[in-house]
Amino acid sequence: MSGLVQFTKSKDIGVITINNPPVNALSPGVPEGISEAIDQLLKDDELKVAVLIGSGNTFIAGADIKELEKMASGKAREAGLLPLLLKIEDCRKPVVAAIHGTALGGGMEVAMACHYRVALHSSNVGQPEVQLGIIPGAAGTQRLPRLAGVAKAVEMCAEGNPITAEEAYQLGIVDKLIDGDLLTGAMAFAREIAGKPALKTRERSNKLGTREQNAPIFAAARENVRKKQRGRIAPLAAIDAVEAATKVPFEEGCQIEQKLFIECLPSPQAKALMHVFFGEREVAKIPDIPKATPIIPVKTAGVVGAGTMGGGISMVLANAGIPVLVNEADQAALDRGMGNIQKNYANSVKRGRFTQQLVDERLKRIQPTLSLEGFANVDLVIEAVFEGLALKKEVFAQLDKICKPGAILASNTSTLSIDEIASATHRPESVIGTHFFSPANVMRLLEIVRGKATSKEVIATCMEFSKKLGKVGVLVGNCRGFVGNRMFHPYVRESVFLLEEGATVQEVDSALYDFGMAMGPLAVGDLAGLDVGWRIRKEYRHLEKLGIRQPFAGDRLCEMGRLGQKTGAGWYKYDENRRAIPDPELTALVRKWAAEAGILQRRISREEIVDRCLYALVNEGARILEEGYALRAVDMDIIYINGYGFPAHRGGPMWYADTVGLKNVYNRVLAFHKQHGELWEPAPLLKRLAEEGKTFVDYSQEQRAAAR
Ligand code: 3HC
Ligand code: NAI
């Protein structure tokens, strides 16, 4: 038997243990090992029953996604798990799946082919395949509705979110919840059922419902996918497969599932989502910071400034169980800040996200204060005062005097230099940027900005701490706008240029929304406040080169007091519920301004809108990558997906450019350069990779190899 699966005997019970760290994925050798173990179980007359269990932290977390990636690009073929699962189910001696950690995807499918399932209370089960752009490929869509009922099976297969063992028990997926040691509990259960008939999931049908009962379930699920997973193909395929389970016999249902699985697997969406899966894990790996770097314990924190960001950051810390002191400049600001925090939590209770009890516990962790004295004992401070270098330096100089040695001093600045801020202290090694995104308690991205003196311990701690906060931490270098906003700037610039050249606000936003962006760039501007960019542009105007075109319509709106949602009008008008209403007067105004500026008006295609905005983003991304402010192309993809609403099923902007082909992107950038001038100068890296026929992924791999 392969070393990945062990078979041992404990009196009349056979124990099959999967041992494929870290997550017991069904890599080559594991299915074969399970198959051989079933042969041994059948051969040995002493054995009456078997327990199938995972070693280490988890049961089986699914198929090996690396293998799936190879299959998706035609580099490998897999026999598939279906024959093994039939073999387990047809085994005349009952097999009990003993679940801890997670039983996901193929792991869940193995468990459902077993005759019984027991689980620790702390475990989770699910069919997350759609999150990888595929559907369950080993009869998950056929067995799950037979165990859990159609409505829950559709939800689990189409949305991909795991459920707790408790819920799985209520639904009938799990037969018994185990307290204490899993193997002991599973063996006791196995002894109880040893003489009973081995139940085959595929032969159950009492939960499959009638056509009349099921039709509205499938219709609602499809509608839900269209709203919540706009543009994705796998969730709709998953629904089709579950629907088949309710209409045709098991074997035929499996064939339909296989056909749909094979269609999804090589799709660009599946490749993109697998890239995102591994990317989210890769960003945690920093080449010059070894895994063994000591982590500074963070048990308490302080936040300076309780405005939009400080309030949200305090909630993030409190939600993660960290007691936090919140400091403000005066009582009125402190009351306002605390009031907003309370309002946000109250809304979460109203929407059913949190219970009142949970909110009370969290609120108790947030202590308002007008003095920085208490900051002497905290392990981490996050500064979120107004964006101004002098003010930030003043705050950091104060923190330097008050905070204990070794405390991490972080700034939430979105544009200022971390090195400049650090220079106000005598401990630049403890200073770092932690750039949260608004609303901080919702957005998953945390850009972690490394100053030139920031210590490895401080970086490693912030990266680790981001996970504790439920964020995806991405390390970036200290350039203006860091990575996300630096790329966003040309993206927004082009969206305004397009308006000035004749496109309407709705045409620009809908082209990018239909591409998959969570919101169009102009609607984002209205949400964030158009004055934010206006203020920054005014501050940096002296750095702009003369004679280079700059967008002006946004500034004009600000001069008119149209700052976005907060003033009831920006690029759109807003009703009392903050619903956007197109504004023909604005279109006319922009036309007038454009005529005054001598800008030729023309019809602009959706394709041009998408290319202009996205390639501006990619061209800047290529510069950032070559300058080393982002570690890898995938880091930028993860930033854009988690902080800027880029559709994950397109893999992020750099991956998207790779899939279009860098030669095509480069040619389009060259054409824009010819047409619109200097701002479109192709990034040297884009030019080089395009000419060499390479991708950003190739470049990142070459960089990694060179660093070794
Ligand atoms: N295949 C290959 N590698 C996997 C994997 C899988 N299914 N699941 C996790 N890994 C790897 C990760 O890439 C990571 O590698 P690294 O250390 O080199 O970066 C390592 O295992 C640990 O993973 P995490 O950092 O994610 O560990 P956590 O403890 O935070 O989370 C988990 C564990 C909840 C199991 C999480 O890894 C996860 O959600 N994995 C994916 C599960 C999944 O999607 N399964 C379905 C696969 S598709 C399928 O089964 C098709 C079937 O229907 C035929
Ligand atoms: P804000 O204006 O909502 O809040 C700033 C708060 O700081 C105010 O409540 C103010 O009273 C307080 N403050 C000023 N001086 C202080 C002092 N000396 N001591 C204590 N408190 C003081 O600003 P916002 O939007 O929360 O921004 C804060 C920081 O976060 C800025 O650096 C900004 O660039 C950055 N940021 C903002 C984002 C956004 O979308 N609003 C996103 C990411 C970063």
Ligand 2 centre distance from Cα of residue 522 (Å)? 23
pLDDT number for residue 73: 86
Backbone dihedral region for residue 693 (phi beyond 0: left; psi -120 to 50: alpha; all else: beta): left
Q: For the domain that residue 105 is a member of, what is the CATH number?
A: 3.90.226.10
Residue 563 lies in a domain: no
- The reply to whether 525 falls in a domain is no
- Considering the candidates 67, 69, 89, 109, report the single residue annotated as catalytic: 109
Using CB distances shorter than 6 Å, the residues near ligand 2 are 304-310, 327-329, 333, 337, 384-387, 391, 395, 412-414, 435-438, 528
Ligand 1 atom with least separation from CA of 128: 44
Q: Which residues lie below 8 Å from residue 392, measured CB to CB, with a gap of 6+?
A: 383, 385, 411, 413, 416, 421, 424
* Ligand 2 atom at minimal distance to the Cα of residue 386: 5
Of 266, 292, 319, which closes a domain? 266
- Rounded Cα distance, 661 and 664, in Å: 5
Instruction: Report the C-alpha gap between 67 and 72 in whole angstroms.
Output: 9
Say if ligand 1 is within 6 A of residue 280 CB: no
What's this model's pTM, rounded to 2 decimal places? 0.96
Query: Going by CA atoms, what residue is nearest to atom 35 of ligand 1?
Result: 61
CA of 463 to the centre of ligand 2 (A): 23
Among all bound ligands, the one having the nearest atom to the CA of 566 is 2
The CATH number for 329's domain is: 3.40.50.720
| Contact yes or no for 242/154 (Cβ under 8 A) | yes
Mean of pLDDT values over 538-551: 81
Residues 222 and 341 in one domain: no
DSSP E strands in 468-541: the ranges are: 472-476
84 and 198 belong to one structural domain: yes
Looking at beta carbons, which pairs linking 461-469 to residues 24 or more positions away fall under 8 Å? 461/295, 461/296, 461/298, 461/408, 462/408, 462/410, 462/432, 462/434, 463/284, 463/286, 463/289, 464/295, 465/298, 465/380, 467/284, 468/298, 468/320, 469/316, 469/317, 469/319, 469/320
**Cα-Cα end-to-end distance for the chain:** 36
Specify whether the CB–CB gap between 243 and 217 falls below 8 A: no
pLDDT value of residue 535: 82
Binning pLDDT at 50, 70 and 90, where does residue 1 land? low
Pocket flag, ligand 1, residue 564 (CB < 6 Å): no
Neighbours of 516 (CB within 10 A): 16
Q: Which of 65-79, 538-552, 682-696 has the highest mean pLDDT?
A: 682-696
- CATH number of domain containing 505: 1.10.1040.50
Give the pLDDT confidence of 152-181 residue by residue, as tens digits.
Answer: 999 999 999 999 999 999 999 999 999 999
**pLDDT, mean of residues 25-38:** 97
**What residue owns the CA closest to ligand 1's atom 39?**
61
Do residue 34 and residue 9 come from a single domain? yes
51: part of which helix (H) or strand (E)? strand 49-54
Beta-bridge partner residues of 18: 5, 54
Report yes or no: 381 and 433 within 8 Å, Cβ to Cβ. no
Give the mutation target among 23, 257, 468 for probing the ligand 1 site: most ligand atoms within 8 A of CB. Answer: 23
Position 260 scores a pLDDT of 98
Give 26-30 contacts, CB < 8 A, sequence gap 24+.
26/60, 26/62, 26/63, 26/64, 26/81, 26/106, 26/107, 26/110, 27/64, 27/66, 27/67, 28/64, 28/67, 29/2, 29/3, 29/4, 29/5, 30/2, 30/4, 30/5, 30/60
- Atom 18, ligand 2: residue with shortest CA distance: 329
Q: Are residues 93 and 152 in the same domain?
A: yes
Average pLDDT of the residues of the chain = 96
The share of the chain scoring above pLDDT 90, in percent, equals 92
Q: State how far the Cα of 177 lies from the Cα of 199, in Å rounded to an integer.
A: 18
Residue 539 bears catalytic tag = no
Q: Please tell me the predicted confidence (pLDDT) of residue 197.
A: 81
Whether residues 309 and 241 share a domain: the answer is no
- Which range of residues forms the domain containing residue 325? 301-476
308 in the same domain as 165: no
- C-alpha neighbours within 13 Å on the C-beta side of residue 225: 24
Instruction: Point out the ligand nearest to the CA of residue 314.
Output: 2
Residue 179's CB is within 10 A of a number of other CB atoms, namely 8
Q: 108 CB under 6 A from ligand 1?
A: no
Closest CA to 454 of 289, 299, 297, 287: 289
Between CA 13 and CA 620 the distance in angstroms is: 62
pLDDT digits (tens, 9 = 90+) for 613-657: 999 999 999 999 999 999 999 999 999 999 999 999 999 999 999
pLDDT tens across 8-20, in order? 999 999 999 999 9
Report pLDDT for 519.
97
Give one DSSP letter per residue of 397-427, joined into a string: HHHHHHSPTT-EEEE--SSS-HHHHHTTSS-
Q: Whose CA is nearest to atom 15 of ligand 1?
A: 281
CA atoms within 13 A on the CB side of 86: 6
- Looking at per-residue confidence, does 87 or 545 come out higher? 87
Is 555 domain-assigned?
no
pLDDT tens per residue, range 464-501: 999 999 999 999 999 999 999 999 999 999 999 999 99
Ligand 2, residue 415: give the atom nearest the CA: 34
Cα of 309 from ligand 2 centre, angstroms: 6
Whether the pLDDT of residue 546 is over 90: the answer is no
Segment 521-528 shows an average pLDDT of 95
Ligand nearest to the CA of 144: 1
If asked whether residues 321 and 367 sit together in one domain, one would say yes
Specify if 293 maps to a domain: no
Structural domain total, the chain: 3
Q: Residue 567: pLDDT above 70?
A: yes
Q: 322: helix, coil or strand?
A: coil
Q: What angle do CA 165, 171, 176 make, to 5 degrees?
A: 50
SS3 content of the chain, % helix, strand, coil (to 5): 55, 10, 35
pLDDT for res 685 = 98
> Counting ligands in written order, which one lies closest to the CA of residue 72?
1
* Model confidence band, residue 532 (pLDDT cutoffs 50, 70, 90): confident
Across the range 429-444, mean pLDDT stands at 96
DSSP bridge pairs for 7? 16
Report yes or no: 101 and 59 within 8 Å, Cβ to Cβ: yes
Helices and strands, number each (H, E), in the chain: 30, 19
d(CA 394, CA 386): 12
pLDDT at 95 over 90: yes
**Mean pLDDT value of segment 405-409:** 98
Evaluate whether residue 681 is within a structural domain: yes
pLDDT at 2: 66
Residues 101 and 232 in one domain: yes
The encoded tokens of residue 145 equal 């509705």
Q: CA-CA distance, 356 to 338, in Å (whole number)?
A: 17
Mean pLDDT computed over 578-595: 95
Substitution site in 381, 385, 395, 524 for ligand 2 pocket (most atoms within 8 Å of beta carbon): 385
Contacts of 603 (CB under 8 A, 6+ apart): 502
Question: What residue owns the CA closest to ligand 1's atom 44?
Answer: 128
What is the mean pLDDT of the segment spanning 414-437? 97
Q: Which of 69, 89, 129, 159 is catalytic?
A: 129
Q: How far does the centroid of ligand 2 lie from the alpha carbon of residue 627, in Å?
A: 29
Residue 568 lies in a domain: no
Own/partner pairs for 337-340, CB < 8 Å, 24+ apart?
A: 337/306, 337/307, 337/310, 337/311, 337/368, 338/306, 338/366, 338/368, 340/306, 340/311
Please check whether residue 526 lies inside any domain of the structure: no
Q: Which ligand has the shortest distance to the CA of 128?
A: 1
**Residue 41, strand partner residues:** none
- Domain end marker among 244, 266, 288: 266
- Pair (312, 386) in one structural domain: yes
Measured distance CA(700)–CA(707) in Å, rounded: 11
* In a shared domain, residues 398 and 257: no
| Same domain? 40 vs 139 | yes
| Residue nearest to ligand 1 atom 34, measured at CA | 102
| 388 and 514, same domain (yes or no) | no
Ligand 1 pocket, 135 CB below 6 A?
A: no
- Residue 112 resides in a domain: yes
| Residues contacting 624, CB < 8 A, separation 6+ | 479, 483, 486, 487, 630, 636
167 labelled catalytic: no
Residues sharing a CB contact under 8 Å with residue 559, sequence separation 6 or more, in sequence order: none
Q: What is the mean pLDDT of residues 377-399?
A: 96
Mean pLDDT of 4-30: 97
